[in-house]
Amino acid sequence: MLFGLKTLSLLALLLGVVEAARPGLPPPGDPFADPYNDPYNPLRYIPSNVLTGVSFGLYFLTATALVLCMRKWGAKWMLCLIIGSYTFSLGLALRFGLAKDPHSKGVYIAEYLFVVLSPCAFLAADYIILGRLAAHLNAGHYLFIRPDRVMKIFLASDLFTFAVQACGGGMSTSNDMDKLRIGQKIFLAGLALQLASFALFSALYIVFLIRIYKFAPEIWHHQTPVPWHRNWKTLAAALALSCVGILIRSVFRTIELSEGFRGHLATTESLFYGLDTYPLFVAVAIYVPFWPGRFITQPGDGEVTRRGSPAEEKA
């Protein structure tokens, strides 16, 4: 349901923006002559096949490496990260089609949907890791939210922000330019709320680590002598880096839409890679060497091992 709302809202917004730019225009000319001023080119540039190829290769290989990690160390609850990585790589691959036919509305919409929607899986993976890490350490009382509710609450928050975006996207299909602009503003508000939601999650995580450091030295230090691949703080650092990458991308997307689809951020390919594709790549690739299944041990296929202070029993 959540994925469907996001898809419909983005599809409506893209169709509205693309169609609103075309009425009364002459037939399209050479798409490679002046792409920046070409109203039929939604990107306003010709995608670089070199950058597309390198980026596609990085994501596809990383997704495959994550599959191998899951097969070796378990943690099937990270499957969403793997699926999202593959679909993001598919979105990048579609840019080859845009390089060949910059005027293709269908390819553009498919590319945009995959690139914008796939990171939802990256957010979900981080939500899952925090909840399971807190339970694994028996330190759920240091979170302001119960570990088993972290994912539910933040996914519900994302669902609300997606509903706001769906409302804005629906208005963006109108032929009335005033309604179109209002729809874009509502959609932008939804993006800003989504950014605020993940920023709140990141703050929750930081406070969780600080509280463990201050009030539970037995948890903070008890694994220090063991190898890095068994020390929970290694995974904690990986999750922090993943959050940073996602936050960079979220800020970029929010500012990009505030400028409009013809703004500097939306029409500059280097910024798309530097502030979107590669920060997200770091957020995903960090889990190849630091696969959560290596740190959060499982006796079977699902339940995490719980250990630590009995303080949680009193909480």
> Domains, the chain, ranges and CATH?
2-300 (1.20.1070)
End-to-end CA, the chain: 34
Report which of 204, 109, 213, 91 is spatially closest to residue 157, judged by C-alpha positions: 204
Average pLDDT on 309-315 reads 40
- pLDDT at position 303 is 38
Q: Tell me the C-alpha distance between 183 and 166, whole Å.
A: 9
- pLDDT at position 161 is 84
Q: Largest alpha-carbon pair distance within the chain?
A: 73
Average pLDDT on 248-265 reads 91
Report which of 11, 7, 5 is spatially closest to residue 173, judged by C-alpha positions: 11
Residue 299 has pLDDT above 50, yes or no: no
What radius of gyration do the chain's Cα atoms show?
21
Which residue reads 């502030």 in tokens?
Answer: 275
pLDDT confidence tier of residue 187, bands split at 50, 70 and 90: confident
Report which of 125, 118, 39 is spatially closest to residue 84, judged by C-alpha positions: 118
Q: Which amino acid is at 256?
A: E
- pLDDT at position 178 is 74
Residues 109, 97: contact at Cβ < 8 Å? Answer: no
Average pLDDT on 167-189 reads 71
- Which residue intervals of 137-231 are DSSP H helices? 147-171, 177-215, 217-221
Higher per-residue pLDDT: 176 or 250: 250
Average pLDDT on 289-305 reads 69
Range name among 25-29, 58-62, 64-68, 167-171 with the lowest pLDDT average: 167-171
Task: Please provide the average confidence, as pLDDT, over all residues in the chain.
Answer: 86
- pLDDT at position 12 is 57
Residue 190 has pLDDT above 80, yes or no: yes
Its pTM stands at: 0.86
DSSP state, 276?
I
